[in-house]
Amino acid sequence: MNLNNKNILITGGTGSFGKSCINFIVKNFNPKKLAILSRDELKQFELSEDPILKKIKYLRFFLGDIRDKDRLEMAFKNIDLVIHAAALKQVPAAEYNPMEFVKTNIIGAENIIYASIANNVKKVVCLSTDKAVNPINLYGATKLASDKLFIAANNLSGKKTKFSVVRYGNVLGSRGSVIPFFKSFKSKNQKKIPITDFRMTRFFISLEDSVKFVLQSINLMDGGEIFIPKIPSVKITDLAKAIVPNCSFNLIGRRPGEKISEILLTKDEAINTIENKKCYIVTPQILENKKLKKYLIKNFKKVDKEFEYTSALNKELLSQHQIRNRCKKLGIL
């Protein structure tokens, strides 16, 4: 996607994805304005002091919370594209602080939608998670509600503002990732690692790949789609052994709201899903034939009606060796 001369705003812009997205945009494009909205003044200050970013004249920092609709309406003035990455994400924290997650992930999503429509923002993409699919934890349930709000927002905007969702799995090495947790055992030379369930699998994507996929999805989006990348999955035990070779495990049981495996695409969604070599697109249930044809022309095809995309049954399941090599390549190990 060509972001040159565009006014862009990233919510949660001081988080792992936000910082990676900023760096990618700065290296590859020349936008008119790149606004960073977050509620953490320290992280904003630290980001603004980055030697490279300090020289960028089009960067703007907005201190604010997505719970504050008035602040969003002010921040979204003259914005062409909003990338909504702000969210509360920790599964156990959601189980014990449910209303805080509802206020940020659901009411905050509603605020993003109305602020975007009020300011005639052209495109809005919301970052989602595999935990929003068939959720068993509150975090996933709030993100499912958020996804539904963003898809339905296309009915409110009359297509003047287009809303879509990008759904992917865990980000390798991001804040809250299990990798730093495993690395802490390696640094202490401890070989006994706590594991919640030996059967556990997860999808993984690198920060750089997540940023590229989001920008590619923005280029494709026509409003109402859910974009899902084709990414590898890992067994958590293999991930631990890749980081701490010859480790053993202490089985501690699953945490509140934790799944054995994750799902990125359900059988129920398959009927509305198309694919190419790199991704799946869950199209809106009510999709005009001309729009579906547009995708099918671009080397997309319909998936089997019984298809589902899960971390346990994923064809691309990484070995310990592959995990270790990928982590080294990304500078995580």
pLDDT classification of 128: cutoffs 50, 70, 90: very high
Radius of gyration of the chain (CA): 20
Dihedral pair phi/psi, residue 141, rounded to 5° = -65, -40
Tokens encoding 30: 């020349």
In a domain, 197, yes or no: no
| Confidence band, pLDDT 50/70/90 cuts, at residue 168 | very high
DSSP string, 182-247: HHHHHHTT--EEEES-TT-EEEEE-HHHHHHHHHHHHHH--SS-EEEE---EEEHHHHHHHHSTT-
- Strand ordering across the sheet containing 233-235: 170-171, 201-205, 233-235
User: How many domains, in total, are found in the chain?
Assistant: 1
**Does 175 reside within a domain?**
no
Domain contains 316: no
Determine how many CB atoms are found less than 10 A away from the CB of residue 33: 16
Q: Which residue is it, tokens 């399941």?
A: 317
Position 258 scores a pLDDT of 87
CATH number of the domain enclosing 225: 3.40.50.720
Instruction: Note whether residue 254 is domain-resident.
Output: no
- Catalytically active residues, by annotation: 131
Residue 283 maps to a domain: yes
What is the residue-wise DSSP string for 56-95? Answer: -TTEEEEE--TT-HHHHHHHTTT-SEEEE------HHHHH
Cα separation, 112 vs 82, in Å, equals 9
pLDDT at 85 (0 to 100):
98
| Beta-ladder partners of 59 | 34
pLDDT in tens, 258-313: 899 999 999 999 998 999 999 999 998 755 555 666 666 568 899 999 999 999 99
Backbone angles phi, psi at 197, to 5 degrees: -160, 130
The range of the structural domain enclosing residue 142 comes to 7-169+205-230+264-311
One-letter amino acid for residue 262 of the chain = E
Q: Give the count of beta carbons closer than 10 Å to the beta carbon of residue 272.
A: 18
Q: What is the mean pLDDT of the chain?
A: 93
pLDDT of residue 207 exceeding 70, the answer is: yes
Q: How does strand 201-205 pair with strand 170-171?
A: parallel
Could you tell me if residue 222 is inside a domain?
yes
User: Would you say 218 and 301 are in contact if contact means Cβ atoms under 8 Å apart?
Assistant: no
In a domain, 162, yes or no: yes
What are the pLDDT digits (tens) for 64-121? 999 999 999 999 999 999 999 999 999 989 999 999 999 999 999 999 999 999 999 9
Q: Is residue 241 part of a domain?
A: no
